[in-house]
Amino acid sequence: MATLAGPPAQPAAATPSSSSSSSSSSSSASANPKFAHPPVSILPSRFARIYALAHPALLLSLVAYRFSSVTNDPVAELLGDIPFLVGLQVVFVMGCLPPAGGERDSNSAITETTPRKPTGPKRRGHGHSAKVPSWSTGLASLAWKLTPALLSLTLTTLLATPILSFLLVLFGAPVTTHHALTFLCAAHMALLSCFPLIYVHGVDGNVWREIWGAARPTDAVWGGALGTCFGAWFGAVPIPLDWDRPWQAYPITILTGAYIGYAFGMWLGRVKGVFGKRINFAPGPEQVRDLKVE
């Protein structure tokens, strides 16, 4: 926690959107924003490589195993599943992903270009540990990694979950009823998508501007987050059908879609041809702008 208390003047708790707009001038000032925030790779340790593969499988089997009880009593089951989901995700991010700033340290070329980042102190602190790889399995390192994990968890609960609940309502979730379900659904989705994102990127305004603009280069974390959203979107498709199946009840299909999308997105984000690529909205103007920048 000491490292976190460090950041002096920067409003660390600023919402991503506001910080992104305030940092926009700095981004245009930097030489080439495209390469300022490279995609996140899974840590090179053996455990990380294995668990990164096992993690989506574990999540999916959790879905399959608990599916029938979710249809029976969705509120209780979704609530009861949250600790398991948190546990799995914490193991995943701490075991397989570099915490906020760590990635950038290893990429020394641009370390000095962004000295004003709110994550600065964390990054520096972690940089020491990265230099001593033998410690990475040690208890101290684990405890040290726990801090950003806990912080990400807090932000996920306080920020991401309400935002996602609001989005669910905007997409047509009931306003007057099903509040607990909407909130739990949002919590699950936030834990899947936002928790790793916050752990890896902190509250770096430039990265979050890329995230809001869906302009991140593809990696496992971003692929998982995007997959969660797409999966949830497609999960809404079977709801109106008149098959009268209990699993068609809101929000079971949405969450199932989100889990499947997360697993698929994580896998796809690491595939060789996809890793590092960005989504292009309109090729024409984008190319024109690239030319302008150069």
Partner 1 sequence: MVTPTTNSGCAVSSADGALRKPRFSQDPSSRLSNPQNQAVRRTREPEVPSGMQSRATNGLKDDRGKHLEEEFKYKHLSLLGVFVWILFLHVVGIYFFTRGFLLTRMVLENKSSCDVLPFSDPLSSQPEHSTHGGCWHPKSFDKAIVIIIDALRYDFTVPFAPNAEVENAHLFHDNIPVLYETAVNSPQNAFLLPFIADPPTTTLQRLKGLTTGTLPTFVDAGSNFAGTAIDEDNLVAQLHGAGKNLVQLGDDTWHALFPGYFDPNLTRPFDSFNVWDLHTVDNGVNEHLFPLLASQNYTKWDVIFGHYLGVDHAGHRYGPNHPAMAAKLNQMDQTIRDIITKIDDSTLLVVMGDHGMDSKGDHGGESDDELNAALWMYSKKEIFGRTSAEKVLPPKYAWERFVPQIDLVPTLSLLLGIPIPFNNLGSPIEEVFAGPSGDDWSNLVTVNRLASAQIKRYQHAYAETRGDEGAEAQSVGLWETAEKVHDSKPESPVSVYEAYRQYQRDTLQVCRGLWANFNVPSMLQGIGVLLAGITLLVFYARGLQGDRTELTAPFVSRVSLGSVLGAVAGVVLAGVGATELKVPESSALMAAIGSIFGASSAIFGSPQRVSIPLPNSLWGWLAVIFTLSQSVGFASNSYTIWEDEILLFFLCTFGVVAGVSSMRQESTTDRVLGVYHSIVFVILGRLASVSRLCREEQMPYCRSTYYASSTSSTSAPWQLAIPFLVMLILPTVVKGFYAGSKSYEGAASLWIGIGFRLGLFVTAIFWMLEELDGKEWIPLSDETLKSIRVFLAQLVLGLAFAAGTTGFIYSKPCVSIDVAQSATEPEPNRPSSPGEQQLPRTTVTILGFGNVYGTRFFFLSINFCLAITLMQKPMGQGAMALLLWQILSLLEILDTNSLVTSNSPIGPTVLGLLGSFYYFKTGHQATLSSIQWETAFIPLTTVKYPWSPLLVILNTFGAQILTAIVVPLTALWKRPLQLRDTNAASPSTQKPALKLISDVAQAAATYILYFATINLATTMWAGHLRRHLMLYRIFNPRFMMGAAVLGVVDIVLILFSIAGVRWSTLSVGEIFGW
Q: Given the rule CB under 8 A, which residues bind partner 1?
A: 17, 20-21, 24-25, 28, 167, 169-172, 175, 209, 212-215, 233, 236, 240-242, 279-285, 288-289, 292
| Least distance (Å) between residue 281 CB and partner 1 | 4
d(CA 241, CA 237): 8
Q: Quick one: 250 or 264, whose CB is closer to partner 1?
A: 250
Q: Quick one: 47 or 212, whose CB is closer to partner 1?
A: 212
| Least distance (Å) between residue 151 CB and partner 1 | 24
Closest residue by Cα to residue 224 from 258, 252, 247, 249: 258
Tokens coding 31: 């030489």
End-to-end CA distance of the chain: 42
Q: Side chain identity at 159, as an amino acid letter?
A: L
Tokens coding 217: 């280069």
| Least distance (Å) between residue 167 CB and partner 1 | 7
| Least distance (Å) between residue 99 CB and partner 1 | 25
> Residue with structure tokens 């950003």?
148
| Least distance (Å) between residue 40 CB and partner 1 | 20
Closest residue by Cα to residue 121 from 3, 210, 42: 3
Q: Quick one: 47 or 281, whose CB is closer to partner 1?
A: 281
Q: Quick one: 17 or 154, whose CB is closer to partner 1?
A: 17
Vertex 148, ends 147 and 149: CA angle to 5°?
Answer: 90
Per-residue 3-state assignment (H helix, E strand, C coil) for 11-31: CCCCCHHHHHHHCHHHHHHCC
Q: Where are the alpha helices (DSSP H) in 73-160?
A: 74-96, 102-106, 120-131, 139-155
Q: Quick one: 132 or 279, whose CB is closer to partner 1?
A: 279
| Least distance (Å) between residue 27 CB and partner 1 | 10
Q: Quick one: 112 or 294, whose CB is closer to partner 1?
A: 294
